[in-house]
Amino acid sequence: MFATVPNPIPARMKGLNRAEICDVNFSEFVKAWNGQADVRPAAEEAVLAGSALDARGFRELLESQLISRHLDLMARVLRLQNKVFYTIGSSGHEGNAMVARLTRHTDPAFLHYRSGGFMAERFRKLPGMDPVMDSALSFAASKDDPASGGRHKVWGSKPLWVLPQTSTIASHLPKALGTAIAIEAGRRLGHALPIPDDSIAVCSFGDASANHATAQTAFNAAAWTAYQKLPAPVLFVCEDNGIGISVKTPSGWIGNRFRHMDGLDYFYADGLDLAAGYGDVQRAVEHCRTTRRPTFLHLRTNRIMGHAGTDFEIEWRSIDELCRVEAGDPLLRSAAIALESGLMSKDELLALYESIRDRCFAAAEEADRRPKLESLSEVVAPLAPYSPDKVAAEAARADYDARRVEAFGGERKLPERQPPRHLAIQINNALHDIFAKYPETLLFGEDVAQKGGVYTVTKGLQKAFGPRRVFNTLLDETMILGMAQGFANVGLLPIPEIQYLAYFHNACDQIRGEAASLQFFSNNQYANPMVVRIAGLGYQRGFGGHFHNDNSITALRDIPGLVVGCPSRGDDAATMLRTLTALARVDGRVSVFLEPIALYMAKDLYEAGDGGWLTDYPPPGEAMPLGEGRVYGEGHDDLVIFTYGNGVPMSLRAAREIERAHGWKCRVVDLRWLVPLNESYIREQAASARRILIVDEGRHSAGVGEGVITAIIEGGFGARPFKRVVGVDTYTPLAGAAFMVIPGEQDIVAAAAELAG
């Protein structure tokens, strides 16, 4: 029945190897069917025997399956003509349309790339939407693509609450769980959710992806949440086709692994058979929605036509195996149901099949004629939106006096009425202020609640604002940042804490690949507004080693669209935090607030007891413009020192010694904003400098100093004598040895002496 036979197929379908065979198989199967059809149901509401699926529902699911299939076939043909740029298909996974039908369009969906059936079915949820044309625009990389504006082939839709994912390999699971947790948290806080209170988060992935460390993080966190009886209505949909590219999943692995996993409620459904699987999918969805528990739906699927258009399976799978796989095509089972039930005749079914083919090709040809992204400005437009006037106005807004008086415990205790304080205290005061200003703000991480963090920077926040807004998480940085994305998805303002900079690298992709990319890949329709607090950098005494003194921010500098601020003193910290929260609120941006641990408690500058590094608290209404540095010694041009973080007080102390030794008037420039570097500001400061020193406490390679040098040279000031004082390319050792690998004051003085020579 499934052998290739002569068949008058369109010329455009020639040369498609197994894709052509699968296409022919469907037509030949229908033509060869000789079973006995039941009497055609008298009403569309008639129920298919033994199934929870009615006739109308089946017809629509079948159509969604066929749309998904013909989009795959179209992509294989038109890719050869350079009209389509993506061929990872959904063939064999079309049963996921059942999940779409049984969930709502307001259930946030984070989808596997084989979700063509799901998307075609979800498009039915709202009138006037066209799954074929929208998908064709995405395949063609047209800037009219409503999902990404031509930046990637993604399954996504703002009105349908499908948040665009790229080629996700499990990285979307933490934020899906985070969104489920956020739905419940937002409801308990009285926050006006953008979706119904009983929504669930839907997250699909393949059986191979289920083994990924990031997936395991999400499963563990879901079970951890359920163990504490905290609601987390996430529907994990594992579309098990038994293979990952070319590596087979051991038979029974997914069922054995997850059927008895404590904290995940397991359901199985046959995704190859709409009649058999529909009721089981329905039970899983209803269970998740009513119990609010993490639910694992093990959906049996198949993968036909290979991993992608470039995967010639015949080179590594036997023909017998391929034929067995293709015989399990879910479209053949759907065709059999349509024929056996009398819902459709052979001619009706074939006519529907060909009409959808024509519809998909017509849409693709139209999409090819639509405009593409043609300029760099168009490409990067949604990457880092910035409305400076609105951000400045929001940062300076101070219309919450009553709430802040309550938060600080009375008028007399307001921080601006207190004596000058050190950095840790002023960050703490600024966080209290932000929580009073924005009732939707949440702060969470390891040890941040009762303890107030390792360095007590968040002390008192939970007492002032309650455990629903300030809470501890499990020890898992990936999940902390996944939850932050979830909270952002439902309109809350998360301030997650990563306990040490070295720990960020465990979870970097949640920012680099997920949070910071969402505006770009959704054409700024979705955003993950958040301020990530990270304690880091070196110079701690008595508590050392690499994992508590990581001085490299290279991984942060590499993330497109990210903003990184690094204060060196308390007043700057407060005004910088106000700007970052306003930036999140107004433009939906992701930022990192990098807190120099060694300066948390610093009080003195030049000598013990001088209090030179204590600052007053800036009252509400004062904020730091994005990119603005601070200058010490304005107008002093003999030597200009560019630095940040710990380098600022070090450079100020060194500057005194340099002035005594050489008679130079020194200017110290605290960059404050490290990503993106304000190149025009750097050049402005360099323009009048006779000599330049760059003091970078990071490592020699790929540090901030390289960016400063580049800005200076490209600005035409490279002829000025300059030197760089920078850390060594090594991990930080323990105890006193640590200070051998990072810059010190005497290194700055020595570099100035070289410039003098």
Mean pLDDT value across residues 249-262: 94
Q: How far is CA 136 from the centre of its chain?
A: 25
Q: Scan for tokens 């790339």, then name that residue.
A: 113
Alpha carbon distance 319, 577 (integer Å): 62
Q: Is it the case that residue 208 has pLDDT exceeding 80?
A: yes
Q: Is it the case that residue 1 has pLDDT exceeding 60?
A: no
Domain limits, CATH 3.40.50.920, in the chain: 630-755
pLDDT band for 711, please (50, 70, 90 cuts): very high
Helix (H, G, I), strand (E, B) or coil at 104: coil
**Predicted pLDDT at 40:** 57
Q: What digits encode the pLDDT tens for the residues 179-198? A: 999 999 999 999 999 999 99
**Predicted pLDDT at 42:** 47
Q: How far is CA 434 from the centre of its chain?
A: 24
**Predicted pLDDT at 550:** 87
State the burial class of residue 233 (Cβ atoms within 10 Å of its Cβ: 0-12, 13-18, 19+): buried
Tokens of 495: 């301030």
Strand order in 722-727's β-sheet?
630-632, 666-670, 639-643, 692-699, 722-727
Q: What digits encode the pLDDT tens for the residues 637-691? A: 999 999 999 999 999 999 999 999 999 999 999 999 999 999 999 999 999 999 9
Tokens of 729: 């390319």
Q: Is it the case that residue 233 has pLDDT exceeding 70?
A: yes
Q: For residue 242, is it left (φ>0), alpha (ψ between -120 and 50) or beta?
A: left
Q: Scan for tokens 């007080």, then name that residue.
A: 649
Q: What digits encode the pLDDT tens for the residues 346-384? A: 999 999 999 999 999 999 999 999 999 999 999 999 999
Q: Is it the case that residue 39 has pLDDT exceeding 80?
A: no
The CATH architecture annotation of domain 630-755 reads 3-Layer(aba) Sandwich (3.40)
**Domain 388-599, CATH:** 3.40.50.970
Q: What is the overall mean pLDDT for the chain?
A: 92
**Predicted pLDDT at 189:** 92
Domain limits, CATH 3.40.50.970, in the chain: 18-371, 388-599
Q: Scan for tokens 């003195």, then name that residue.
A: 604
**What fold does the segment set 18-371 form as a domain?**
Rossmann fold (3.40.50)
User: Which carries the bigger pLDDT value, residue 20 or residue 624?
Assistant: 624
What residues are annotated to the active site? Answer: 548
Neighbours of 399 (CB within 10 A): 9
Q: Which residue in 572, 567, 484, 575 sits closest to 531, CA to CA?
A: 484
pLDDT band for 313, please (50, 70, 90 cuts): confident
Q: What digits encode the pLDDT tens for the residues 557-616? A: 999 999 999 999 999 999 999 999 999 999 999 999 999 999 999 999 999 999 999 999
Q: Where are the beta strands (DSSP E) in 628-705?
A: 630-632, 639-643, 666-670, 673-675, 692-699
Query: Is this structure's pTM higher than 0.85?
Result: yes
Tokens of 309: 């258009």
Q: Is it the case that residue 6 has pLDDT exceeding 50?
A: no
